[in-house]
Amino acid sequence: MTNLTAAEIADGVRAGKMTARSVVNDHLARIDEVNPQVNAVTVVLADRAREAASALDERIARGEDPGPLAGVPISVKENIDLTWSATTSGLPFAAGNVPPANATFVDKLLAAGAIPVARGNMPDIGLRWDTDNDLFGRTLNPWDATRVPGGSSGGDAVAVATGMVAAGLGNDYGGSLRLPAHAAGITALRPSAGRVPGPSRGVEPLPLSIQHMAVNGPLARSVADLDLLFGVMHGADDFDPLSVTVPHPSGYDGPRRVAVTADPCGWGVDPLVASAVRDAAAALAAAGWEVEEVEPPSIDRCATIWRQLSSTENAPMLLTPGVFPGPLSAGTVRYFKDNIVDVDLLDTSAAYQGAWAERFVHAAAWRAFHARYPIVLGPVTTQPMPVIGYDLSGPEATTELWKAHRLLVTANFLGLPAVAVPTGVSGSRPLGVQVIARQHGEHIALAAARDIETAFPPITPVRTGTARR
């Protein structure tokens, strides 16, 4: 059963072809088999998962509707509230931090029949493009153990890719859903800002960039599963004042034009990355999309201001003694210190206000561009996933990583929806692309991603074997 998609599991459980209990047991066995190799799962929720599965089977036996995600095993990232275990964010001092309530979207998924079976690993507080912390240790890339699995939703991405869960829940402030999905060879949806409420029901005085650029979303092995999960997750709640409810259409019948950028800004791109983008463009053209190589507006400025805002706002919290409520790992502190060396911090009120004002200008330019090109197709990252430790090798490395992720963080800066989708594999290296749509255009991005996905065979991590698309 670990070879099935979320939709296939839900259909099978609803139809009585399998029980939720058997599905959960198979995935728990898969965790026992695979997790020691990759350390993607931090906490196994075996007893609670089995209880939930048995209760779901009893509801089905009584003739009740089990929901659209009946029996689907999911993982929940360590910084998303689930009352079944502590929300640690990878911090040792938060190991006992059991939340009083679930995140609203977690409750929606539980009501739809999904069953959490594990928590997913992450870097402490999620501010690295890698997955390692002092509480749970390092998650390994299932394709190549010498390279990082991406971050910060790396544990959930690897759990999905290796068949330990059918889907995962993560979040994305600077590519933290799309990058680890790309590294693992699976799919991920970064929703528009506000479409999915926050990871807890409590509102904290977080930096503005996190409030407006960080989102929660799903990881899965198929684009159809992303659509299914997002259809349940989205919608405002009574706790997150920035959350919105916008209809999510079941398909897309609008203009089918694509702007392709293989080397955003012309800052350089790995040949295999460029080839993957062009292969995806050809797939979209074959599916009836009008494809044109054209550069979207101001990616250089969008990426630059994202870095300035995130660095300026997080530096006082992370580097000022006594501000953060407990110690951070040495790796996170070192990464952040190196990261801000090459950043022109917005250290005056005029500069800070000007950056947010300029964001509005670029958002308007992208809205006009999306009116002409509903989809922007480009790389997830312009370079291969780095070897372990590269991001801690000095300021030059952190700057090179940011440059490689320039299209990733542009979507965050502008609050736009984007889908990462694999396009094949070269040796032990998954290949893939991302598609970016206009604000609240998740259905457009999903439609394009589905057409790309259809053109390529599914891929399987070489070290562990796994479920396939």
Q: Tell whether the torsion through CA atoms of 70, 75, 77 and 83 is positive or negative.
A: positive
Rounded to 5 degrees, what are φ and ψ at 432? -175, 180
Q: Which of 77, 85, 192, 311 is catalytic?
A: 77
Of the candidates 453, 438, 302, the residue with the CA atom closest to the CA atom of residue 375: 438
- Please pick, among 85, 153, 176, 310, the residue that the annotation labels catalytic: 176
Rounded to whole angstroms, how far apart are CA atoms 116 and 13? 16
Cα–Cα distance measured from residue 293 to residue 419, given in angstroms and rounded to the nearest whole number: 19
CA–CA separation, 237 and 315 (whole Å): 30
What is the DSSP code string of 86-116?
---TT-GGGTT---SS--HHHHHHHHTT-EE
How many CB atoms neighbour CB 421 within 10 A? 31
Specify whether the CB–CB gap between 189 and 154 falls below 8 A. no
Q: At what angle do helices 349-372 and 406-414 cross, to 10 degrees?
A: 100
How far from 322 is each of 30, 136, 317, 325, 328, CA to CA, in Å? 42, 24, 9, 7, 12
Is residue 152 annotated as a catalytic residue, yes or no? yes
Closest among 145, 150, 183, 164 to 73, alpha carbons compared: 164
User: For residue 292, what are the β-bridge partners?
Assistant: 259
Count of alpha carbons within 13 angstroms of residue 456, beta-carbon side: 33
DSSP state of 48: H
> Do 339 and 130 contact (CB within 8 A), yes or no?
no
Q: Is 403 a catalytic residue?
A: no
Per the structure block, which two tokens stand in for 146?
């010498």
Considering the candidates 89, 152, 200, 329, report the single residue annotated as catalytic: 152
Q: Which conformational region is residue 236 in: left (phi greater than 0), alpha (psi within -120 to 50 degrees), or beta?
A: beta
- Is 77 one of the catalytic residues? yes
What residues act catalytically? Answer: 77, 152, 176
